[in-house]
Amino acid sequence: MSTFLDLGKDVAELTADIIDIPSVSGHEKHLADAIEESLKREPHLKVTRFGDTVIARTELGRPERILLAGHLDTVPLPTTADARGTVPSRWRGGTLYGRGATDMKGGVAVQLSLAHSLTLPSKDLTFVFYDHEEVEAAKSGLLRVATKELLPADLAVLLEPTNGLIEAGCNGTLRLRADVTGTAAHSARSWMGENAIHKLAGVLGTLRDYEAQTVDVDGLAYREGLNAVGVGGGIAGNVIPDAASVEINYRFAPDKTIEEAEEHVRRLLPGYDLVRTDAAPGAKPGLRNHAIQSLVAAVGGAPQPKYGWTDVARFVQMGIPAVNFGPGDALLAHTDDEHVLASDVRKCLGALLDWLT
């Protein structure tokens, strides 16, 4: 039996209700059930579901359509005993704690409040609630529905946390694995072997000394980052390892393609065997788009660059201009005390209500 969500209640309280339904990646079904059941009670919406992705649309014949999107899943729950960012949610004054409070249950609550209250919006609306965002791209619910002909829109607003400002575009991300080999030997006679882990020193030294760039793209400054994010090697405490690897993550500005980003890393690490393990392109800001300009004017403040990768890039690949705009501080995402201010969720809802009416 799915849980019914009261979409007419205060949006901050609705955020708490959503947090209270666990939805770690791969386990979004109960939350998707609740959202589907709740939206089907709204007579002005046409609701469809694909797996654990739920789509609701108005069909008013408006000349412009806006898509509002948010993912249902969270990263795994905190493991520390004193973590506040757990499930169920907890209030401390006007601050709501719980896994996903920032990333991105507040944004999902805003979507649901808009879906309930905007029975006659000035633009046709598409609401997308999708699964499997926090894991590898191949599992993305958004990818699964991309071919269903329900997503075309004049603008997509992804309600990821942005501190209530428009964050335009996003950096791309690239992961490469550097593999090195050596010669195994007993560690008591280490001179008979060649230590593969030690041979990683050249890669790690290059990454340590690398000075990340800041790249201006259409007037916004995107900061890049090149880092080791994982190291592997060794089979036992008395064996000189004959193989080792380091995983490298390059967050690159949206002026580069994936291929250009990979070539940049390969030039920095000549002679190493590099294998691409994952990649996603960035998205340019698109601030000249008239729909984006109207949203910026309604929200206020200067647009900011998005340093992390988001599904804005996926929407842009689909030919849909897109921006990030949602409640909460992205720096709190995935932390053990993840939280969002009730006032921030309400403010985000108010800005979008004003814009869409």
Residues labelled as active-site residues: 73, 133
Paired sense of beta strands 53-57 and 220-223, if any: unpaired
Q: To 5 degrees, how large is the angle CA 215–CA 218–CA 221?
A: 35
Please provide the DSSP assignment of 7-73 as one string.
TTS-HHHHHHHHHTS--BTT--HHHHHHHHHHHHT-TT-EEEEETTEEEEE--S--S-EEEEEEE--
Closest CA to 247 of 171, 172, 179: 179
Q: Could you give phi then psi for residue 304, rounded to 5 degrees?
A: -120, 155
Residue among 216, 209, 226 at smallest CA distance from 266? 226
Nearest to 275 by CA among 220, 314, 232, 241: 232
Backbone angles phi, psi at 344, to 5 degrees: -70, -40
